[in-house]
Amino acid sequence: MEFSGGSRLDPYVDRYAERTHGMTTSEIRALFAVANRPEIISMGGGSPFVSALPLDAIGEMTAKIVAERGAQALQYMGGQGDPRLRELICGVMALEGISASPDDVVVTVGSQQALDVVSRIFLDPGDVVIAEAPSYVGALGTFTQYQADVVHVQMDDAGLVPEALRAAIAQVAASGRRAKFLYTVPNYHNPAGITLVEERRDEIIAICAEANLLILEDNPYGLLGFDGPPLPALRARATEGVIYLGSFSKTFASGVRVGWAVAPPGVKEKLVMASEATTLCPVALSQYVVAEFLAHHPWQEQVKVYRELYRARRDACLDALAASFPTGSSWTHPAGGFYVWVTLPEGVDAKAMLPRAIQGRVAYVPGTGFYADGQGRRNLRLSYSLPDPERVREGVRRLAAVLDEEFEIVSTFGAGALDA
């Protein structure tokens, strides 16, 4: 077999849609392949500590579902999702002040699929999505695939800054483009670890209402706060103008891939149709498992177990950062969720440092992935959800040593090391 005429080894290379531009392998993916090895303390992925679940009980429950209701659990079902689960989801959302009817709920294959279908029904190429700076990498990836542009809005320790949001909306309008929605993670933000304070929530809603801008509220971590009851969701304050996304990935198990969207009626109908076109229906067995867990297990106790576990890991992470990270670095202090957002000393590039970190047997996610516009070189996300507290401490200590080495290298070559 000769290809002296030339071959790109992919006979379909000229047929792909424009949106596949950027779907390539990357050095970062290669590095993360190593990060999953047990020798490495991975503070990269946002995986829940599912070993804390009552696995035996879930196994028995699943077996019972298949034995007693297998003909339904292993069959197609309605595209909007299991009615019983949707009813139970309304009970879950009530804990964050949301009043919704099961008819408003669309079950999806994780909230990632909800992000996809919301993007599909709203975004045309060239549309604008307004999002926090930084923003969830999985959402940015979805918006990019629909060829939307992301305009970031500054956050401070109290969350999204209202004045910055106003300015971003005005800037988009002045450029003659159309912002379709604000994408926001108000609670225990991924990756920033910041929570939008209660005093700003109504103001954010009012700004968006005034600009006729939909809010896409993504709330996988809302029940995982360490300090008191959860704050009422944006959707709890406004039934119109907010599409709400929830997930069982962090409060139960990411592997069941069950999330949901709550949307105004017209939007909901389109979400169901878009979702059916993707998956026909969400996974029936997974929905039955989640519904059974919610209905017959003390699931709120399980969330409490998770909260206490993550609180201890968050404390370990913050203690180790304070003890070992150099002057010139700073980090957020999450009151819940999985993530600490670290800003490195001037001149250090977190993406360039990642290979050194992996050789130092610790992994994180570089900050640039959480921006659509190249910001974040001095930032990294640490996830404390998976390693136990001692491993979290050791991981941060290792990272501090890596940072010392990197800082020495950067210092050798001067400011140009980052500014080129």
Partner 1 sequence: MSDLGHVLVLAGGVSFEREVSLASGRRVAEALRNLGVDVELVDVDAHLLPRLVSEPPSAVFVAVHGIEGEDGALRDALDLSGVPYVGATGAAARLAFDKATAKAIVARAGISTPASVALQHAAFRDLGGPVLLDRVVGRLGLPLVVKPVRGGSALGVSVVRDASELPQAMVGCYSYDTVALLEQCVAGTELAVSVVDTGDGPVALPAVEIEPVSGAFDYAARYTAGMTEYHAPARLDASVATKVAEVAVTAHRVLGLRDLSRTDLIVTADGEIEYLETNVSPGMTATSLLPLAAAAADIDLGALCRDLLQHAATRGMSAPGAPA
Q: Which residues bind partner 1 (CB under 8 A)?
A: 1-10, 12-13, 16, 24-27, 29-31, 33-34, 37, 39-40, 349, 352-356, 358, 406, 408-410, 412-414, 416-420
Q: Is 292 or 349 the residue whose CB approaches partner 1 more closely? A: 349
Output the smallest distance, CB 343 to partner 1, in A: 18
Angle, helix 284-296 to helix 83-94, in steps of 10 degrees: 50
In eight-state DSSP terms, residue 231 is P
Q: Are 260 and 107 in contact (CB under 8 A)?
A: yes
Helix (H, G, I), strand (E, B) or coil at 217: strand
Q: Is 56 or 408 the residue whose CB approaches partner 1 more closely? A: 408
Q: Name the residue among 49, 59, 63 with its Cα closest to residue 302.
A: 49
Structure tokens at 125: 């190429």
Distance CA 295, CA 412 (A): 61
Output the smallest distance, CB 389 to partner 1, in A: 25
Output the smallest distance, CB 318 to partner 1, in A: 26
Q: Is 160 or 354 the residue whose CB approaches partner 1 more closely? A: 354
Output the smallest distance, CB 157 to partner 1, in A: 31
Beta-bridged to residue 362, according to DSSP, are: 41
Q: Is 17 or 420 the residue whose CB approaches partner 1 more closely? A: 420
Output the smallest distance, CB 372 to partner 1, in A: 19
Output the smallest distance, CB 352 to partner 1, in A: 5
Amino acid at 267: V
Q: Is 26 or 51 the residue whose CB approaches partner 1 more closely? A: 26
Helix (H, G, I), strand (E, B) or coil at 111: helix
Q: Is 213 or 363 the residue whose CB approaches partner 1 more closely? A: 363
Burial of residue 72 (CB within 10 Å: 0-12, 13-18, 19+) is: middle
Handedness of CA 284, 285, 287, 292 (dihedral sign): positive
Distance CA 116, CA 101 (A): 23
Output the smallest distance, CB 35 to partner 1, in A: 10
Q: Are 66 and 285 in contact (CB under 8 A)?
A: yes
Q: Is 26 or 212 the residue whose CB approaches partner 1 more closely? A: 26
Output the smallest distance, CB 17 to partner 1, in A: 13
With residue 128 as reference, give the H or E element that holds it: strand 128-133
Q: Is 21 or 64 the residue whose CB approaches partner 1 more closely? A: 21
